């Protein structure tokens, strides 16, 4: 059986732009203003499905950035937690 040699490409492949993983750019050392629902679950120490249920019921304020992207404003979350008192 014959092996085929592969010639190197004569043109260079352009580098893919490095887009941020989110449309919300965070400077180094800063916390993101908006958090994902799974991060909300981690912060509240509840399951991801419980966090989604809390947001879906309107218990926790959220922001829909697109049809598939739902986030919680960290400042609003802190206010919500402070207003809950000792409940």
For residue 34, count CB atoms less than 10 angstroms from its CB and return exposed for 0-12, middle for 13-18, buried for 19 or more.
Answer: buried
Q: What is the pLDDT of residues 11-51, one digit of tens each?
A: 665 565 554 444 444 555 567 789 999 999 999 999 999 99
Interatomic CA distance for residues 86 and 67, integer angstroms: 35
Q: What is the pLDDT of residues 59-76, one digit of tens each?
A: 998 999 899 999 999 999
- Give the per-residue pLDDT at 1: 58
Interatomic CA distance for residues 72 and 87, integer angstroms: 21
- Give the per-residue pLDDT at 37: 94
- Give the per-residue pLDDT at 33: 85
- Give the per-residue pLDDT at 9: 55
């Amino acid at each position: 059986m014959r092996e085929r040699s592969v010639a190197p490409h004569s043109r260079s492949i352009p580098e893919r732009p490095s887009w941020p993983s989110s449309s919300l750019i965070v400077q180094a050392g800063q916390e993101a203003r908006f958090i994902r629902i799974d991060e909300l679950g981690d912060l509240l120490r509840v399951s991801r499905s419980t966090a989604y249920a809390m947001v879906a019921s309107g218990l926790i304020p959220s922001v829909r950035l697109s049809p598939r992207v739902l986030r919680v404003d960290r400042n609003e979350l802190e206010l919500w937690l402070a207003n809950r008192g000792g409940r």
